[in-house]
A and B are shown apart, each in its own frame.
Chain A
Amino acid sequence: MELFFQQMVNGLVVGSIYSLVALGITLIYGIMQLPNFAHGHLYMLGAYLTLSMMSLYGSAYWPAILVSVAVMVVFGMLLERLVFRPLHNAPHINAMIAAVGVMLFLESAARKIWGADYRRLESPYEDVMNLFGLTITQQRAIIILAAIVLMVGLNLFLKRTVIGATIEAMAQNREGAFLVGINANKVSLLTFGIASGLAAAAASLAAPINLVYPSMGAMVNLKAFVIIVLGGMGSIPGAVLGGYILGLAESMSGTYLNSEYKDLIAFVILVLILTLKPTGLFAKEAQ
C-alpha cells in the first residue's frame, strides 16, 4: 500500500508538469484554433534559459526561473506576431505546418547553442522530506505546490480581471467578442505570452528531476496533445484534469506493469478513448 501512495505522489508530480504544458496548448487552441506543435520546444527553451542563467551568471534558482519566464513570454509574443498572426486567415493546415517549421528550427538552434549532450540543472532543494510516512524530495513537493499556485493564479486572472475575461470571451465566442469591441490581435498576443510563460515555468520546475537536452520537449509535447484531445480541445478544466490523470496512469503502469512501455501508455489511452468516444472525454462541442 505504501508503494501505491508513493507512486501516487510521483504521478502527481509528473501530472503537474503535464497539466501546465497542456494548459498553454489549450489556451492557444481556444483562442486561435491552432494546435501549436512547437509548444514542447518552448518548454525546452524555458529549461535551457533557466539552466544558462544559473550556470553562466550564477543566478539563484528562483530569479533564474523568473528571467526565463519573462524571456519566454516575450518570445511567445514574437512568435505570434511574426509567424502565426499572418497565417490566421490561411487554411488550417498551413498554420500547423508553420508550427512544425518553428519546432524544427528551435530544436536545431538549441542543439547549436547548448550542444546535444544531456545536462543537469542543480536545484537547491535536494533534501528529502518525510510526509505522513511518504518520502519526497523538496523539489517534487515544490513542483506540486507551484503547479497548483500557477493554476489558481491563472484561473483568478481569467475570471476576475477584465483582460482575463477578454481571453475567456474570445475562447467562448469569437464573433461575439468582436461585437463587444475586443481586440483579437491583442488577445492572441497575450495568450501566446501566457502559454509560453507557463511552459517555461513548468520546464524550469521539472528540469531538476529530469534532464535537459534539445529534444526534451518532443515527448512532453505529444503527451500534452494527448491530454488536450482527451480533455476536449480548448477546455481548461479538461487540460488540468487530463494532465493529472495521465501522470497517475503513467506512474502506476510503470510500477505495476512494464516500465519499458511507460511512454506508450498515453497513446494507448488515447486510442482507446477516441475509439469509444471520438470527441474526447470532456468535449465542449462535437467537432
Chain B
Amino acid sequence: MRKNRISQRASKLVLPALLLIAAAIPVLISNTYYLDVLARVFIWTIAVSGMNVIVGYTGQLSLAHAGFFGIGAYTFGLLMVKAEMPFLPSLVVAMVATGLIGALVGFISLRLKGHYFAIFSLCVGVILLLLIEKWESLTEGVRGLLGIPVPQIGSLVFSSLTSQYYLILFFLVLTALINKRIVQSLVGRTFMSIRNSEELAVALGINVMRNKILAFVHSTVLAGLAGALYAGYIRFLGPDIAHVEHTFDMLLYLLVGGIGTLWGPLVGTTLVTILMQMLQSWQEYRMMIFGPVLVLLVMFLPYGIIGTCVRLKQRRQTELERRAEHTTAVSSVHEQRLSGGKADA
C-alpha cells in the first residue's frame, strides 16, 4: 500500500517536471535543429490530441483531419496575408471557422456509422484538399501562400525560434489541460460510453448525435489551432499540408502512443517524429518501414505504448487488491481461530 502511495505521489510530480524540462530546453540546448524538431512535434501533438478525442475516446474513425488542419492553416494565413489582421484575432477566427466547417461536416457525416463514417470522412478530407488546391483565386493553389507575417501579440514579437517554441508550448499545455478536463468530466465519460456501445448509450438516455458532434467539433477546432500555429511557424503554406498522407501520419502517432489515452498523442508524436528524423538518410525507405510497423502495432500492441502501460498497471493493481483482500480474509480467519482457541482453553 505504501509503495502504491509513493508511486501516486511520483506520478503527480511527472507533469510539473516535464513542464520544467520543456521550458528549460531552449536554455539548455543551443542547437536550433533540435528546437525546430520539438516545435513541430508540439504542433502535431495538438492536432493528434484533437484526433484522439473523436477517434480514441468517441470511437469514430475520422480520416478528414489533415483537411481541417489545412482549413485552420489557410484561414489563418489568408487573414494574416490578405486581410492583414493581427495574430490573435486571426488565430481565433481560424479556430472558429474550422469548428464551424467541422460542425457542418459532422452534422452530415456523423449520421453514418462505422465504416461508412470512416470512408465518408476520408472523402471529406480529399474534398478539402482539392478545394484548397484548385481554388487558386483565394488560396494561390499549388504556388502556395507566401509571406505570412511573424506572429505578434501587442508588443511581443515572436520572431526568434525560441519565442516561437514557447508560444507553441503554451498552446500545447493549454490543449492538454482542456483535454484532461474534458476526458475526466461527465462529457468525456459520455464520449467513452458512445465508443463502448452506441446502443447502450442511447438506452441510457444519452443524446448520441449531439455528443458525437461535440467531440467532432472539438477535434476539428484543435486541428485548426494546430494548422494556424503551423502557418505562423513555417510562414509558408502549400496545399500539401492538407494531404491525406498527414491524416495517416497522425493516425500512426496516435496508435504508437496509445489511442484513447491522455499522454498517447505526445508520446507517439515525439517518438515517431524523432525516429523519422533519425531515419532521414533512409528517406525513401521511411514508409516501407512504417507501413509494416503500423500493421505489426495493431496486431501485437493495439493499445500503444501508454495504453499498454496503463493496462499493465491496472492489472497489477487489481492483483494487489485481490492479494490484499485475500490476506485480510485469511488473517481474520486466523484471528477467529485464535480467539476461538482461547475461548476453548
Contact = CB atoms under 8 A, between A and B. Distances in A.
Contact of A108 (B112, B122, B124, B291): B291
B279 to A, nearest CB: 12
A80 interface: no
Given A90-B302, A100-B248, A274-B112, A229 B287 contact: no
B291 A102 contact: yes
Interface string B152-193: 000000000000000000000000000000000000000000
B108 A274 contact: yes
Question: Interface centre among B114, B134, B284, B287, by most A CB within 10 Å?
Answer: B287
A35 B295 contact: no
Interface string B202-239: 00000000000000000000000000000000000000
A38 B118 CA distance: 14
A105 B291 CA distance: 5
Chain A's interface: helix, strand, loop or mixed, by majority? helix
Contacts of A101: 290-295, 298
Given A105-B292, A264-B130, A35 B298 contact: no
Contacts of B119: 35, 225-226, 229
B118 A96 contact: yes
Chain B binding surface, main DSSP class: helix
A12 B59 CA distance: 39
A102 B118 CA distance: 17
A134 interface: no
B120 interface: yes
A233 B115 contact: yes
B127 A287 contact: no
A151 B120 CA distance: 27
B302 A233 contact: no
A91 B59 CA distance: 11
Contacts of B292: 101, 105
B299 A86 contact: yes
B298 A98 contact: yes
Nearest to B112: A278
A257 interface: no
13 contacts: A90-B298, A93-B59, A96-B61, A98-B295, A104-B291, A104-B294, A108-B284, A222-B122, A225-B122, A225-B123, A264-B134, A267-B124, A274-B120
Interface of A: 29, 33, 35, 37, 83, 86-87, 90-98, 100-109, 111-112, 218, 222, 225-226, 229, 233, 260-261, 263-264, 267-268, 270-271, 274-275, 278, 280, 287
Closest 6 CB pairs of A and B: A105-B291, A101-B294, A108-B287, A104-B291, A101-B295, A94-B298
